[in-house]
Each structure stands twice: as C-alpha cells, then as structure tokens.
Structure 1
Amino acid sequence: MKKIIFTLLLAIPLASTGFAQTLKGSKMIGGDGYLSFDDAFYANLNPNIGYFPLDDLAVGIKTPINFGSHSGGRFKYITGDLAPFVRYYFGKPTRFRVFAEGSGGIGYARNKSERNESYSVGYIRNSIGGSLGTVYFITEQVGLEAQLNYRNYKSGYKSSSENFIADSRRSNTTITLGIQVHLPTSKKE
C-alpha cells in the first residue's frame, strides 16, 4: 500500500509537466458562451483568438455575439462586439490553471419589438468588463474553461419610429463555459 501511495505522489508532479500551453509565442483559439431559458431565451457566444507575447500573458480579440427573445418572440435583439482582451494565467503550468481577464469593446445592437406599436432600434454601444476563470487541460493543447464574468455596457440610440434619442447603461454578471485550443510556439528555446 505504501508503494502505491508513493508511486501516485510521484506520478502527480510528473504528469503535470509538459503542459506548456501558455509559453511565449504560443497561440490560442476558441471561445465560450451560455444559454438561458427562464422567462426569455438568451444565447451568448464569444469566439476569440489570442497570442502570448510573454509567458502566461495572452492578448487577443474576441467577438461576442448575443441573441435574445422576450414575451413569446414579440421582442427580439441581436448584438455583436469587437473586444480586445488581456488574459493572465496564475501558477505553474499544470493541467489546472486559474486566470484573470480584462476586455473592452465597441459593438452594434438591433432591437425589434412587435408589441402594441412595432419599432426597430439600432445603436452603437461600448463595453468594459473582467473575468475570473479556471481551465482544465484535457490534453496538452485543449482546455475546458469556466468563467465568472462582469460586463458594463453604455449605449446611445435613436428610435426609427419615434424621434427620440436615449442613453442606456446596464451591466450583467454571467457564468460561461468554453473550450480553448492552445497552439504551441514553433520555436524551440
């Protein structure tokens, strides 16, 4: 029994070596998202691509896309953003890593209502946010992620059916699940 325990204790650090996904020069591609089915339907997808200019530090761009439908489909919206991000991975390279991410962006949104009076509104919005997440590498290059996200949005718009201009601010907190493929650097250092 002591031999088995000793072998397992020795195998854990050895099994976690060789996970060098976040080294300088590496790339990552993937994304995350969530679905919600409460009193309305929401879908959020966040594809991204990134590069590691330094060990454990990724910079890149994500393109969040949101869809929603309320009140039996009588109110619908779609949004799309372009959001640069910075992500830092904490700890030594192992199968399990913790990371923090910050991003900001600009995007376009369109709302459409078919309630008593139909209208359609298109507007530009900007956003800023942050995330705290974990990744579990199921292989040396593929990681499954879970993130807790906070995002603040500000937008201004003009209605197409009425002559008004409005400013809107909102924020949300979400939990997303995702997958990232890490492509190692081609250089041997």
Structure 2
Amino acid sequence: MKKLTLIALLAFFGTANAQTETATTFPTAKGNWIIGGSTNLGFNSNKVTQKSGDYSVDGQKTTTFNVTPTVGYFVIDNLAVGLNLGYEVQKQDASYDFNQTAKVTNTVFSVIPSVTYFIEADSKAFPYISAGAGYAAIKTKVASTETQNDNFFVWGGKAGLAYFITPSIAIDLGLNYQQLSTKYEDTFSTTENKIIFKTLGASIGFNFVL
C-alpha cells in the first residue's frame, strides 16, 4: 500500500512539474519578455498632407525605409505591454510653402508605448494585433540647404503573425499603419496649420522570448 501511495505521489508531482515547465516555456505566457525588431518589405506607402485652415495640399506618395526595435513584457497570458523605438528615412518630392516643389528628406525617430495581444493557437503561428501612441522627432531637409526639426504626436497599429520556429524565436510578418501630426504657426496667417504624415506598409522581423 505504501509503495502504491509513493508511486501515485511521484506521478502527481511529475505531472505538476511538467505542467509548470510547459507554462514557463509557452511563448506568450505571463512573466515572459519579448524582444524583437522589424523592417519594411519595400511596400510602404507614405503620404504627406499640409493643411492651412480649410486649404490642403498633398505631397507625393513614396517608399520609405525603417527599422523598429521593440521590447515587451507579458503582464498576463497573451497580452504584452511594451515600447517601440522607430527609425525611418523618407525621401520624396513635396510641395513647400504651397507654391514650390523641392526634394525633401525626413528622418524620423519615434518612441511609442504599445499594447500587443496574441491570439493563442494550437499551431506555432500566433496571430496578433498591436496599438500604441507616443512621440516622434523629425529632422527635415529641403533640397540641400534648409534643415529644420519638428516634434510630432504619433499613433499607429499593427496586425500580423508570429511564427515560432522554436519556443523562444519567432518570425514576425505584419501590416502597419502609422500617422504623425503636428501644428505650426505661420506669421502670415491666423488659421490653424498642420502637417500630417501617413504610412501604410508591410514588415518582416524576428522576435525573441526570454
């Protein structure tokens, strides 16, 4: 009888230990950290809109290059709270002062707190959605002479798929939307002036779970 009781206890604790290990190694389990980085796939479409009161001028759409390191912590299973750091370079022909066209290069640095929810699946593929809002600093160069710096409010979202090739490494494919906007003063006008950057595109990267 004692032997049977001992075997049963060992079986119970062995099962409990296995379940604990499974929960710990589950990629999107509470307490895990997720660190990643992604870049666009060359399909980003960028649109610049300059507004003055009811008057609006759209710049040309163009492709952009960006790199986005991310870090997040799973506060509960499948829900991570984190921070996205962005670096982006945009080059385009755009209207300037409403009556001129010039080569414009924008270099964007952004810091965006975000929330990401992973949809638990039986396979290695985890669909997810993410949203965030934060701050961006843009350095603008018009032609080769004039340079200015602006601060922007930025918000955006992402939907994608994380495919875990191991319990701790995933390939990340996503579709992104991001909008930056700022108001500025014009000494020759009393109307509200605003510049809006809109970016829609696809990205690829890797995620590492710790």
TM range (shorter): 0.7 to 0.9
Q: Is residue 183–residue 195 contact of structure 2 (8 Å, CA) maintained in 1? A: yes
Q: Is residue 121–residue 158 contact of structure 1 (8 Å, CA) maintained in 2? A: no
Could you tell me the TM-score, scaled by structure 1's length? 0.75
1:50 is the counterpart of 2:56: no
The amino acid of 1:32's aligned partner reads S
Q: Is residue 41–residue 204 contact of structure 2 (8 Å, CA) maintained in 1? A: no
The amino acid of 2:68's aligned partner reads N
Deviation at 1:172, TM superposition (A): 2.2
Partner of 1:5: none
Deviation at 1:60, TM superposition (A): 0.4
In the alignment, the residues of structure 1 paired with residue 133 and residue 122 of structure 2 have an alpha-carbon distance, to the nearest angstrom, of 27
Partner of 1:128: 155
Q: Percent identity?
A: 23
Q: How does 1:156-167 map to 2 (within 5 A)?
A: 156-157=183-184, 166-167=193-194
> What SS does the corresponding residue of 1:91 show, helix, strand or coil?
coil
Q: How does 1:1-189 map to 2 (within 5 A)?
A: 20-34=26-40, 36=42, 42-70=64-92, 74-92=103-121, 94-114=123-143, 118-157=145-184, 166-183=193-210
Q: Which of structures 1 and 2 has the bigger CA Rg?
A: 2
Q: Unpaired runs of 5+ in structure 2?
A: 1-21, 46-60, 94-101
**RMSD after superposition:** 2.8
Which aligned segments of 4 or more residues in structure 1 are displaced greater than 6 angstroms? 162-165
Deviation at 1:156, TM superposition (A): 3.0
Q: Unpaired runs of 5+ in structure 1?
A: 1-16, 184-189
Could you tell me the TM-score, scaled by structure 2's length? 0.68
In the alignment, the residues of structure 1 paired with residue 39 and residue 202 of structure 2 have an alpha-carbon distance, to the nearest angstrom, of 8
The count of corresponding residues between Structure 1 and Structure 2 is 162
Partner of 1:14: none
Cα distance per residue 1:34-70 (max 9 Å; x no partner):
1538996621111011100100000000111101233
